[in-house]
A and B are shown apart, each in its own frame.
Chain A
Amino acid sequence: MSLAPEPVLSARDVSIEYEVDPPVRAVRGASLTLHRGEILGLAGESGCGKTTLAYGLNRLLKAPALMTGGEVVFHDVSGRDVDVVGLDGEALRTYRWDKVSMVFQGSMNSLNPVMSVRRQLHDVFSTHRPGMRRGEREARSSELVQLVGVDPSRLSSFPHELSGGMRQRVMIAMALALDPQVMIMDEPTTALDVVVQRGIIREIMRLRERLGFAVIFITHDLPLLIEISDRIAIMLEGEIVEQGTAHDIYRTPQHPYTRRLLSSFPSLRGERGDFVRRGTTAQGGAA
């Protein structure tokens, strides 16, 4: 591979608690390193803390969630290291979306229903690039939607006039708007149909090749992660129990939970899983 393993975002011993009664330790001592240009898959079941960890990396935690320990460092392309936990005010604002953007779970429903796609895209620029002129904003917006495979004429549309897949593409365009170095995608395609999902995944992979951003891809769909990620981290009850290349996770899983998760997905073309039809007891026996 041509990618030098240079880190772009590293988290060490991150712990996040929900300060309710009794406190919920949602993330416990999680350490992650994301390298420039790679896709890191974060897999786990509902409630394992994967979304909470992602929010922590982007400093999006809201009370009662609180990061109780650990450090998150962003290694800027300029060579400057940014301590994410210590950011506030203007510095935090430029870090978010500019350096690290996020595509949220079910984000196709998070577009503002009473604003056209154009206004929402322009909004990003008028906030983060105040010097930009109207013409430039317009040119960049149509470039962006084209990048994700949406016709620029749809810029005038309102969200309800777009299909789910198109809305998700618009969200990805928005996340790409400021050329971030890292994109965190939290279940970006779960609500979509498989064929549409495939198209969007392919688009993400293609854009990554072109623009070189790194991706943290969060989902419970392990087969999909194995197919597209460079490395995978498996999360269980707030802890990262195993981390490795997609190949190693698939071929030689170490942790029992990883094995269990893998065996939860029957194989499409292989024989694994055919016990469902044959009966658990008579595995491979009389049908």
Chain B
Amino acid sequence: MSGSASSDACLEARHLVKDFRLRSGVKARTLHAVKEVSFTLEPGRTVALVGESGSGKSTIARMMAKLEAPTSGDVLLDGVPSATRGGALARYRRDVQMVFQDPFGSLNPFHTILHHLERPIRIHHPGLSSREVGHRAHELLERVQLTPSSRFAERRPHELSGGQRQRVAIARALAPGARFIVADEPVSMLDVSIRLGVLNLLADLQRQEHLGVLYITHDLATARHFSDEILVMYRGEIVERGPSDRVILDPRHEYTRTLLEAAADPDRLGLLRDEVRNGG
């Protein structure tokens, strides 16, 4: 480990900007996908980033995971601007990992589950013996509740359900020893009845490992219950931020209200029908 003081351990986005050049024929225009976004992830805390498609949420996730370079602005790990290449970038990736939305696309169908977990361990901890690597991989499987691990280790992704695959993806993200996890819609492709299970697992691991989590979603209900702080994004900007209960129960920004209004709420049963019936 780099030995930085744990008190100021954090992952910070500072004035992140991302512009995309769009071309259509000879004309080109600039799309400002992310405009001056700043926030801080701390160990043991979850920050939710909510907004509609196209609001720039995923672009932020990709910049945090170093899959995309910001046009301007910085990503700071423990107060130090993060590297963009070489060994320093590899070390950054050991600390910051990503869980993708699609568990069907993020695992290689050619490799076994064990391989998916052993490889990041080998890359980030080259000193370990094969036995230690195997042992760690099995331990990870147990930790994401794929038990007994021997039953899952030699299988390939297509033999697992969506929920199980997403658990493997989480284990894979933890494998290098990550301290921060960027989870981009980690449950939206899963069946409804297993979503909470996967979120609960993520929350449990977060408490045990003291992880900092950036939870990206369009689902306000899970954002509220899963995270400590909510950032609401609209057209590349954070229009509202605050403690989750405050943002959901007492929204200040007009767009947050629109989003909340649009979320299904069974407690309002029949209201919409009465509203349109009375000429809404």
Which residues of A approach B to under 8 Å, CB–CB?
39, 45-46, 193-195, 197-198, 201-202, 205-206, 209, 220-224, 226-228, 230, 246-247, 250, 260-261, 263-270, 273-277, 279-280
Contact = CB atoms under 8 A, between A and B. Distances in A.
Contact of A227 (B227, B258, B259, B272): B272
Nearest to B54: A193
Given A276-B203, A279-B207, A280-B204, A264 B226 contact: no
A261 B192 contact: yes
B266 A226 contact: yes
B269 A268 contact: no
Given A195-B262, A276-B199, A279-B204, A220 B268 contact: no
Specify which of A230, A263, A264, A270 lies most central, judged by the most chain B CB atoms within 10 Å of its CB.
A264
A195 to B, nearest CB: 5
A273 B280 CA distance: 32
B276 A227 contact: no
Interface of B: 46, 52-53, 191-193, 195-196, 199-200, 203-204, 207, 218, 220-222, 224-228, 248-249, 258-273, 276-277, 280
Contacts of B265: 223, 227, 268-269
A262 to B, nearest CB: 8
A273 to B, nearest CB: 4
Contacts of B267: 267, 269-270
A164 to B, nearest CB: 9
B192 A198 contact: no
Contacts of B248: 268-269
**Shortest 3 CB-CB distances between A and B: which pairs?**
A224-B264, A226-B266, A198-B262
B200 A194 contact: no
Nearest to A268: B221
A266 B266 contact: no
A89 B268 CA distance: 45
Given A273-B221, A277-B203, A277-B226, A246 B192 contact: no
Contact of B193 (A198, A250, A260): A260
B269 A226 contact: yes
- Interface of A, helix, strand, loop or mixed by DSSP: helix
Contact of B196 (A195, A246, A267, A273): A273
Given A46-B191, A227-B266, A266-B221, A276 B226 contact: yes
A279 B226 CA distance: 10
A228 B200 CA distance: 29
Nearest to A257: B193
A252 to B, nearest CB: 13
A265 to B, nearest CB: 7
Contacts of B276: 202, 205-206, 209
Given A195-B262, A264-B195, A209 B277 contact: yes
B107 to A, nearest CB: 19
Contacts of A222: 192, 266
A198 B262 CA distance: 5
A270 B248 CA distance: 10
B264 A223 contact: yes
Contact of B262 (A45, A194, A223, A250): A194
Contacts of B193: 45, 260-261, 264
A226 B267 CA distance: 8
A279 B269 contact: no
A197 B201 CA distance: 30
Nearest to A194: B262
Contact of B200 (A202, A206, A280): A280
Contact of B258 (A195, A265, A267): A195
Contact of A193 (B195, B218, B261, B268): B218
